[in-house]
Chain A
Amino acid sequence: MHNFNIYSRREFLGRSFKTSMAVALATLTDIPFVMKRALAEGSIGLNGKKILFIWLRGANDGLNSVIPIEDSEYANIRSTIGIQKDPIATDNTRPDYDPAYYSTPGPCFDPTLYTDPTFTPRTSNDDTYVYNRAIKLGNGFAAMHPSLKFLAPLYNVGDLALLHRVAYPKQSRSHFDSQHYWENGNPNNNLSKDGIFYRAIIESGLANTSPLTGISIQSALPLILRGSEAAMTNLTSPTRYDLLGIPSGTGDNKAFNSIVGANYYPFAGKRNRQLLDLQYENMTNTLRIFSNLDFSETGNTFRDDSVTDQDQAWFDANGSQGYYLFPTTNAKNGGWQRPSGGGQNVNRYVVPTNQYGFFGNLKAAAMILNKTDAIIAGTEFGGFDTHQNQGAATGTHANLQRTIGWSMYALRKYFQRYADKATWENTIVITLSEFGRTAVQNGDQGTDHAEAGVMFVAGGAVQGYGAGNTYGVFGCSTSEPYPWNPGPRTTNVTTCGTMFAASPNTVAGYLRRSIDYRSVLGEIIRDHLGATQAQLNRIIPGYANAGECLLSGGKSSVDGVDIRGEIGIL
């Protein structure tokens, strides 16, 4: 069932008046700025296009997500945590030995179909992550972590863009500052307290009129959806968003009505009162919408429509349906529960068991996008701050990659199979992470804070491999604009390997950026969500400054680094 958000002009005006009282600034003749914008331009929120974002908190080690496998230094600097090449490329005693395996262009090797590069078919008997070598991406240079194997099907149909060397000028290596900048879209400005997506929704004109525009499902509303003029929604737990669950008897109706009524009591202006008023109002307005969505475990019936991971036995034993898309229990985690007396096999999990909470939140985010008029929804998971013992093909970081890979696989299937108000063609899934990690592993078999990292972008409209672009990986090749220079760390900036030259003036041991995260988000906000360029210039202030080169690329006026500008993935 669709849940159409109700917004009436009358309610909107009444609320805007109250807001003006609360801030003690506006006069009656002021038209709230949100209304001015609403009358102006763009089609954000009106064209059915949606964004689902996943925050990878703690800084994902991008060099082990999308691996520069043909950069000979990679194996040297990651002696114990590096992902190894497939023996087909290294073992010259094999009859099928092919040293050019990774450097030969072609499609991505798909470990959901085969167990090795000679195309031995997967079967129901294989462990989920039995393939443990770097997955060839087919651009002649890059490879993928084996735990990201569920991205392979997306890559090969052109629905995935893997963006490497993503950062921003004068990179902060503080988690908190850098997360702040990724979210407010204003690098090195901590006073800017509005989020990028918040500003996009303000530009839509729907803020404060539609009860549900931007939403997160996590412990607290993230900055990216936060701002002072309108309330976005956060669900702490999707199954507890229910004031009707107040365990009391007879006083309920009176209390509830009073809470609603209290939205309209005038009080003297104080700091935070506007925030509180907006969020109270948002709470009462969204209660009804969510009461019609089933976020419960019994409602988690979403399944793959094909033989997942070539697990024919599971498919046959489960009513000709594939794995559950949102693993929230052991029984719903891949093929753990084997059919017809096959017992239970932990090697058939698709995600680690400690991610069930995340998948519950991800499911809620997907359902909200699909069943309501919400434009942007997102959630997060942490644990990426892998300073020690991060592991290689298995281990801590590998488990995090499994969660990323399966999330995107599952979301594609969900929006394809269960499309209601959101189709896969109209939905873009992106990941955010505050920075990459040091190229050289540290003494604790981990990596420390560094600069450029990786962004994952998926969606039916994404133009990846064979779909508008030759490859689905960007920024990790020796033969593209601003190429990746393989090679060791030197003291000469011009000859130093890309992995060690963070800026034009220093050899710092950090991966140098070639893509600004704002260009990626900008392209999506304009070409997908439907912002005009003028709106985008307000949503991401750097776009208005030609010297920052966010649109067309060039030498950034901020720090002199050459960047690509927008990539052209849409």
Chain B
Amino acid sequence: MKQLVALTVFAALTVPLSNTTCASEPPAPTIDGIVVSGAQKNLRVTPAPGAETYSFYSATNASGPFSLNTNFVLMPYVTGYSTNYTTNGAVTLTNLAYEWRNTNFTANSGFFRMSATHVSSNTTAGATVLNRLAYGPTPDELELYGNNPQAYIDQQLNFQGIPDTLNGYAVEITNAIPSDPTTNWTLVQITGRLNTTNLYIYMTAPGGVFIDDIQLTDTNGGPNLLANGDFESGSVSPGVLSGGMTASYVTNGLAHSGSYCLRVQTAVAGSTSGNNLRIPIYTNSVTYSNNSPIRLSFWYLPGPNSQKLTMRNGTGTSLIGSAGGIPPTPGWVYAQTTGRASTTSAIYIYLSGAGTAYVDDMMLVAGTNAGVGINLLQNGDFEAPLSGTWSNATDFTNSTISTTVAHSGNSSLQVSATAGGAGANDAIIQAVSPALANNGTYTVSYWYAPVTPGVTLTVRLSGSGLTSTPDRDIAGLNRRLENRFAVIGDYRAWFCWNAVNSPRQLLEVLSQFWENHFVTQYSKSRDYLDNIGYDSTMAGILATDWERREMTRWRNAMLNPNCTFYDLLKISAESPSMIVYLDSVGSRGDGTRVANENYARELLELFCNGVDNGYDQNDIILMSRAWTGWSVELVDAENIDNPFAPASVTYYPNTNSTSKGNTIGVWTFNFKPGNHGTNRGPIFAGKTVPARFGPPWAGQSYQLNIPPRATGSTNGIQDGYDVINHLANLPFTQEYISVKLCRLFVHDDFPNPTTIADHPEYAFYDYTNPDRSPEAELVHQCMLAWENSTPKGNIRAVLSTIFNSDLFRSHTAHAQKVKTPLEFVASAVRALKSTGTNDAPTAFTDGFSFATPLGRMGGMNLFDRGDPDGYPETAPGWISAGTLVERIRFVQSFLNAGTGDDAGNHTCDPVGLLRKKLPSGSWTDANAIANYFVSLLYPAEGAANLTLYRNAAVNFLNTADNGTTASAFSSQSAGTQDTRVRGMVAMLMTFQRFQEQ
């Protein structure tokens, strides 16, 4: 038989639409081969991107005429068999591929053509836009923007105009109990080791405070080693005032006990060497000696400057006492939650760990309206003793009624935990009487004042049908982050929650991009702080705050439409976590010391120029000196933005303050002039921009001369700013950052640029070559936008260039990228996230649930990347058999609401979604349901290309759980239908195509 000949004809019939440009047509389908078996002709074809339909034409002569042949149908053929392992043991599976088959083509020879119609260019661009500017489309966004990408681009490029109501919270600053300055005396009591010389009393800053009844005794409270510690003689004698402290005097009328107290006031900061009150230690009558255990106690009246008071025994650090400031008025948070009761009518109040919190004005009412109706709790306002109404179990036996803190009335519940609670038998408990209706709907509401950082409150009814955790919702997370009360898990949850839910999706995508570009490592910061003397929990809280503060600054900077790359770079350079991460913190260039090169290297290689792009090792060495002195320090909170501020000496009251762990201040960027080295030559000496850049850059000198600055002067800080100011707009930086943004938004294949002429990338980015690739041209356009924007380096100008490029809007970008783990889990939730009946979300995550899956999908531990190149943006870093297993397990857990921790605390309701989106007549229609979810999960793939996925979905719905028996979906019970829809959606989301974006 004569061999058939296949002709391939490209006939891409795109539907013209306004608004969007899509210059490059997608590749056309091709016929790769023909298998002939009698009258059966099997065409094996390469599909075309976005194909809605395929049409086949046949002729018996090569010259035609070709006529439409509708007899070709898509059919499977067997390619082999493979054995796979399932829960029921090994099964042999038939491996199939698909071909277009015509069974009645009887002519001896034939010629075939095929053509395709495509989804509209708007649909293609719409899918790309929702997958790149956002963490994947939601069903509602797909309806709004799936065919109108320009509207989404315009909206997201101006994300500061999108209301963000998610993170808001309100705190009511109140303490119902009025404070009385005359009765507000506060006791400080610490222990340490005796120094037999003197007790020094001074202020670490100008100011004043009242003190009284100073006692230095043995640890059992024996005789006072100070004479006249109560100042009842009417003078400071035998103490001696010196320097600025001579403005202090003993006064009567405001004493803690007796008639007199000491009014300390000074206009000069003191120390043990002057401007102090020196009280001799009276040891004649007792047998104390140096280093005996000793206790210091004194009373002070809290005031605006009282935390500057320091008492020091001798000049060493064996015993240092300090006072606190005015105690903060409790910030009361209102919380309410509706849920269902169980058979046991008990309400539990507990904390997640050892610590303290206050609760007041708690109401439990029937129905869904908080505070409306009869309060089913007794003593919910905590105005009466706990006994008889509330019981304290196990770790909460120290809980009590507080008469110094209250939201209303005269008292509140002080929740005191020695360890984390659990509810029944380990909480503050009330058995609600009369009993609640089992499964009845109730609403709890209360006011809550947190105290201990990192400890969270839970109020719940037995059975967990009603659980209130005001610290873990998004507003509570935000509140605790801003109060520097949060641990890294809280911050990750806040970040992931916003990635899924924020309407400012581009801001979220860019936040992760810059965080990952200017990468720092939470655990390195934590270990640094841990070594200083904080316990591991506090070190973690402080390290979390560093990560949050740099992110907050980036997000605020990006909200400004004129945000430049320099703005973002500066924030990174000043971030304490960066200073610790790349070892500037202890780097010294003074004298003959060799500066640490780490930050200078990565600044060039990873943050600005890109590796080997315009610099050499010598430049790194020279530049490393500019960063000497860039360090971190603990300063008073008001100095958080002052890099020259002195170290804070403000301590929590009532602590022996020799440990950093007792300090109150804030760790921040601090310049240490003594570490700074000024001796350096010009950086990039004699270098000019290579020819490949073309105009306006080629040939320009970019030598950086840092002017001489006085050794040991605070002016030395300017060296660092000179460096980043110079780097921020170098053509190399413009190029490398543009390349990274193109990789993020367009596709992976933008290689790193280089100035080394014999590397192949040099020619790839030769902007003088008229035949340069579309990728090189897009980078070039980004650089021009950067160069010509006002102000120069405007990030939105670069983004706008990318979003309006043909490359981005065409099939060249669509579905060309693989989701990172974060993009994968966020897009999985978003794909099903709408609002169902009763305002219930059809997909939900609490944000915390992402941490474990992200770790498993390739170690994507947010804010804790070990290597300074950040997490990969491209596919090979994430995709291997092991990580795919984790992705599949996540999706299956998420959809099937199963047990285990693969998906964490998620919920989803795909049936709720389809009931909202489809007419009721379709709710039991397997074809309609399959069509809906296929189009939802694979927008712009093209209906013809999705035929087999759609068939698989329909088959899944119409097949019993054994995987083989036919079982019509429409005739199943609601419960079975729900299970099948979940399983079918899970299956669609485990397919390869859902890994793409």
Contacts and interface: CB of A to CB of B under 8 A. Distances in A.
* Real binding pair: yes
Interface of A: 6, 8, 10-11, 13-15, 17-18, 20-21, 24, 27-28, 57, 172-177, 188-191, 193, 216, 219-221, 223, 226, 231-237, 240-273, 275-277, 279-280, 282-288, 291, 382, 387-388, 440, 442-444, 446, 448-449, 508
Greatest chain B CB density within 10 A among A189, A265, A277 is at: A265
Contact of A176 (B748, B817, B858, B869): B869
A245 B889 CA distance: 8
A442 B594 contact: yes
Interface string B965-997: 000000000000001101100110011110110
Interface of B: 26-27, 30, 32-33, 44-51, 79-88, 90-91, 93, 95-98, 583, 586-588, 593-598, 601, 605, 611-612, 617, 747-749, 751-752, 754, 756, 759-761, 814-818, 856-859, 866-869, 872, 875-886, 888-889, 892-893, 895-896, 898-900, 902, 941-942, 945, 948-949, 952, 956, 959, 961-963, 979-980, 982-983, 986-987, 990-993, 995-996
Contacts of A272: 748, 816-818, 875, 879, 996
B898 A247 contact: yes
Given A246-B888, A271-B747, A276 B893 contact: no
Contacts of A232: 880
B98 to A, nearest CB: 6
A257 B596 contact: no
Contacts of B44: 17, 21, 28
Given A256-B86, A285-B82, A220 B961 contact: no
Given A257-B93, A266-B98, A249 B898 contact: yes
B85 A191 contact: no
Nearest to B982: A251
A308 B668 CA distance: 50
Contacts of B605: 174, 176
Contacts of B945: 267-268
20 contacts: A14-B80, A28-B32, A174-B605, A174-B611, A220-B877, A220-B880, A232-B880, A233-B881, A236-B885, A241-B882, A245-B900, A261-B93, A265-B949, A268-B26, A270-B49, A270-B816, A272-B875, A275-B818, A442-B594, A508-B617
Given A234-B883, A283-B885, A448 B33 contact: no
A264 B79 contact: yes
A271 B749 contact: yes
A284 B82 CA distance: 10
B867 A237 contact: no
Contact of B86 (A219, A253, A263): A253
Given A291-B85, A443-B587, A221 B876 contact: yes
Greatest chain A CB density within 10 A among B86, B587, B956, B982 is at: B86
A25 to B, nearest CB: 9
Contacts of B594: 440, 442-443
B85 A388 contact: no
A248 B30 contact: no
B118 to A, nearest CB: 10
B47 A276 contact: no
A189 B83 contact: no
Contacts, number: 323
Given A243-B888, A267-B941, A288-B84, 6 more contacts: A172-B612, A236-B880, A246-B889, A257-B86, A388-B596, A443-B587
Given A176-B611, A253-B962, A256-B84, A246 B869 contact: no
A284 B992 contact: no
A57 to B, nearest CB: 8
A248 B875 contact: no
Contacts of A442: 594, 596
B941 to A, nearest CB: 8
Contact of B983 (A175, A241, A248, A440): A248
Contacts of B889: 240, 243, 245-246
A252 B97 contact: no
Greatest chain B CB density within 10 A among A24, A226, A232, A247 is at: A247
Contacts of B818: 272, 275-276
A243 B987 contact: no
B596 A448 contact: yes
Contacts of A259: 888, 987, 990-991
A286 B881 contact: yes
A223 B877 CA distance: 8
A250 to B, nearest CB: 4
Contact of A264 (B96, B817, B858, B980): B96
Greatest chain B CB density within 10 A among A15, A176, A254, A442 is at: A254
A28 B34 CA distance: 10
Given A190-B761, A268-B47, A268-B48, A254 B949 contact: no
B760 to A, nearest CB: 5
A165 to B, nearest CB: 19
Contacts of A382: 866-867
Given A248-B983, A271-B747, A387 B596 contact: yes
A254 B32 contact: no
**A-B residue pairs, 9 tightest by C-beta:** A14-B79, A251-B983, A247-B898, A234-B880, A219-B859, A248-B896, A283-B881, A247-B900, A236-B882
A255 B992 contact: no
Contact of B856 (A174, A177, A223, A237): A237
A534 B896 CA distance: 53
A270 B942 CA distance: 14
Contacts of A263: 95
Nearest to B895: A248
Contact of B875 (A188, A250, A265, A275): A275
Greatest chain A CB density within 10 A among B85, B588, B949 is at: B85
Contacts of B898: 246-249
A18 B598 CA distance: 47
B583 A248 contact: no
A189 B759 contact: yes
Given A18-B97, A280-B992, A237 B49 contact: no
B748 to A, nearest CB: 6
A252 B85 CA distance: 12
B987 A255 contact: yes
Contacts of B79: 10-11, 13-15, 17-18, 264
Given A262-B991, A275-B876, A448-B597, A177 B611 contact: yes
Given A11-B95, A443-B588, A248 B892 contact: yes
A248 B900 CA distance: 9
A382 to B, nearest CB: 6
Contacts of A388: 583, 586, 596
A477 to B, nearest CB: 29
A259 B891 CA distance: 12
A191 B51 CA distance: 33
B896 A247 contact: yes
Contact of A175 (B81, B84, B867, B883): B867
Contact of B893 (A237, A246, A275): A246
A277 B992 contact: yes
